[in-house]
Structure 1
Amino acid sequence: MSGTKRLTQKEIARLAGVSQSAVSMVLNDSAAAAGRIPEETRERIHKVIRETGYVVDPVARKMASGRNRILGVFTYEPAFPSAQSDFFAPFFLGIEEAAQELGYDLLLLTGSSGVRKKIFSENVRLRLADGCLVLGMQFNRDELERLVGGDYPFAAIGRRDDAGGPVPYCGADYVSATHDLVQRAKSLGHRRLAYVGPEDGAESLVDRWKGFLSATDENSELVSRMDSLIPSPEDMLDGIVSSGATVVFFTELSDAVKVQGLALAREFNIPEDFSIVVLGRHARAADTGTRFSTFRIPREEMGREAARMLVRRIEGNESAQQILLNCDLIEGETLGAVFEGL
């Protein structure tokens, strides 16, 4: 009710028949409370809290303990886009699971309202949270350097290059996953390889290209490389066919879908005429009726481990950690053995 007075810790202490310091300790530091306050007393305090519906004032908690037990989450792109195949959703699932496990709430930070979202703007209530998880295809380098050089705990989801110092992150090992897919293709007889996608830009794209190059040798040849941002699907297909490539690696599923559809319309057979490999599976891609050969990006696990890492930094002043998780290969149906014609 709007006219109801907010309960205080002093009143909770009176109702439970304990000291106010005992109530404060139970609310703000459950680990210390477990060691210093009898279980029966702790349960009596929790019982009063449940019965009265008492809610901790986050500002008061911050003043008392130095922490709100809130994790901020900031994304450089829209957090809930309709056109990105739920890119962020699995990250959020992992973050939420870890936050619940560790007794933290989540605060979604929406950033400034300009063309480019910024984590450091007058509208971002960063200090309401004890630390922040930062997501995005491409980070603002100036802001990343400011985070690294400051004292505010944060962790990035996805590998990030140093920015004036090591960036704490949990990412996916795209280098190894891409390397393994190229090796798989070579084991099936593929020697003439094509690559569709940028070789620079975001770290995730750089890592894919690095993994691709690491698997090529004197027994394999890159016969075509196209930046997916420039050619049309028709140009992509024409380039693949004219190069004589037997397998093409796409960094973007959407490009692979378009080229495959156009190839089928021109009466090419996949993977008999050429194989298609996608370097990373979308979380919930549109149903194309095709099971592409690819690898699974451990998005949920990345969110979970990044949140745990951040809490360790908040509670124990742990130095920056950098973790890469494995990506499981998905066999699919678009990578086959090289067809040896008569």
Structure 2
Amino acid sequence: MPPRKPSTPGEPDTGFSRKRATINDVARLAGVSKKTVSRVINASPSVQQETRERIEAVIKQTGYVPDPQARGLAFRRSFLIGLIYDNPNPQYVVNMQLGLLDAMRGSGFELVVHPCDRGHPPLVDDIRAFIERQKLFGVVLTPSVSEDERIAEMLREIDCAYIRVASVGLDAPGHMIETRDRLGGLAAARHLAELGHRRVGFISGVATFRSSAERRSGLEEGLAERGLTLDPSLVAEGAYTFESGLECARLLLDRPDRPTAIFAGNDEMAAGALHAARELGLSVPRDVSIVGYDDFQIASRVWPPLTTVRTPTRRIGQMAAEKLMGKEGAEPPPEDRLPTLVVRQSSGPPPQ
């Protein structure tokens, strides 16, 4: 047997310099049960702080590393979290992934991404098969798949942990992250009304997305505060893509009574609206103001840079993963989860 490395003065001689420590060793040295050690490893909030710190010190001292396969067998699930989405905006998906990974770093959990089509008839069965095949620990659902109650019912049926990200509360608080998109539409409307705009056009997202209705509701509420209404003839339905924003803006801006401002349901469509304005020889914001939604990278890279409603998508992803893993800490400040207006050069007073 190889000799053990002498312990550092002041530290107990554990003898684990050459031998891999086990969870039983950690439990023995910390004077607790194996179950308590497991709870600390899995970030359970049910362990007292003093006990947690003692166990963490022993883990660090012995160099104990949990076996992911053993953990998966113990829980009858893998340590995989699934991101299930049908969002047509690639930047939204990337930001959500980054947020999930921020929270999962160092936790032993890994991310599996599963795109889907909400209009596909066997959607629920496909998602169930994906979860069972991967033995997922839990899933995060983003709009609009998060709005499908059939999926939530299936997840409850198979006892799979889940978090729904949606513009309004659709489930118990423990299963929800609300983005409150109506407040974003309200902020955009107030900004344009304060600038003096009276004819405001709206390019909505996909009709089946709850966010489209919520952002329109906020826009109408904000205009109503100034005694204004949203003219139905100045509303065009897009698809949350650049191309749809371009086409919708062409229709709105080619009218003889065109709007003096356009609120687009996301930055991709707002960028398309900027392009349409240039095609028609209009200057932004001198001839028409354009406001987007999301504040993704494209918003600050187009010209002029977009005034937009910022949604903290990456932070929301982080919050969703923390909630799913049971690592939720203190309630985050409102600005960490609510939409806020970012004013740039694409909005100004209406033409005289």
TM-score (norm 1): 0.73
**Partner of residue 228, structure 1:** 238
**Partner of residue 252, structure 2:** 239
Return the offset for 1:142.
1.7
Return the offset for 1:328.
2.0
AA matched with 2:103: A
Return the offset for 1:291.
0.7
Return the offset for 1:302.
0.7
**How many angstroms apart in 2 are the aligned matches of 1:89 and 1:59?**
31
Assess if the C-alpha contact under 8 Å between 2:81 and 2:112 holds in 1.
yes
**Partner of residue 182, structure 2:** 175
Return the offset for 1:336.
0.5
The question of 1:186 aligning with 2:193 is answered yes
* Aligned residue runs from structure 1 range 194-213, under 5 A: 194-198=201-205, 200-213=207-220
The match for 1:29 among 3, 20, 39 is 39
Assess if the C-alpha contact under 8 Å between 1:160 and 1:167 holds in 2.
no
**How many angstroms apart in 2 are the aligned matches of 1:233 and 1:246?**
17
**How many angstroms apart in 2 are the aligned matches of 1:85 and 1:206?**
21
Return the offset for 1:155.
0.8
Deviation track 1:239-258 (CA, whole Å, cap 9, x = no partner) reads: 33423311111114333323
The question of 1:105 aligning with 2:109 is answered yes
SS at match of 1:108: strand
The question of 1:310 aligning with 2:293 is answered no
Deviation track 1:129-167 (CA, whole Å, cap 9, x = no partner) reads: 1x322234434442122225664321112335637x778
Could you say if the C-alpha distance between residues 125 and 160 of structure 1 is closer, same or farther in structure 2, counting changes exceeding 3 Å?
farther
Assess if the C-alpha contact under 8 Å between 2:72 and 2:79 holds in 1.
no
Assess if the C-alpha contact under 8 Å between 1:112 and 1:121 holds in 2.
no
Could you say if the C-alpha distance between residues 35 and 245 of structure 1 is closer, same or farther in structure 2, counting changes exceeding 3 Å?
closer
* Aligned residue runs from structure 1 range 68-217, under 5 A: 70=79, 72-77=81-86, 84-100=89-105, 103-108=107-112, 110=114, 118-121=126-129, 124-125=132-133, 127-129=135-137, 131-139=138-146, 140-148=148-156, 151-159=159-167, 162=170, 168-198=175-205, 200-217=207-224
Whose helix fraction is larger, Structure 1's or Structure 2's?
A: 2
**How many angstroms apart in 1 are the aligned matches of 2:163 and 2:248?**
40
Return the offset for 1:293.
1.0
Return the offset for 1:208.
0.5
Q: Unpaired segments of 5 or more residues in structure 2?
A: 1-18, 41-45, 329-334
SS at match of 1:132: strand
Matched positions, count: 312
Assess if the C-alpha contact under 8 Å between 2:245 and 2:273 holds in 1.
no
AA matched with 2:286: E
Identity of aligned residues (%): 15
**Partner of residue 67, structure 2:** 56
SS at match of 1:222: coil
**Partner of residue 254, structure 1:** 268
**How many angstroms apart in 2 are the aligned matches of 1:192 and 1:120?**
47
**How many angstroms apart in 2 are the aligned matches of 1:38 and 1:309?**
22
Task: Name the Cα RMSD after superposition.
Answer: 4.2
The match for 1:294 among 286, 308, 311 is 308
TM-score (norm 2): 0.71
Q: Greater RCO between the two (CA within 8 Å, min separation 6)? A: 1
**How many angstroms apart in 2 are the aligned matches of 1:336 and 1:144?**
43
Return the offset for 1:199.
7.4
**Partner of residue 331, structure 1:** 343
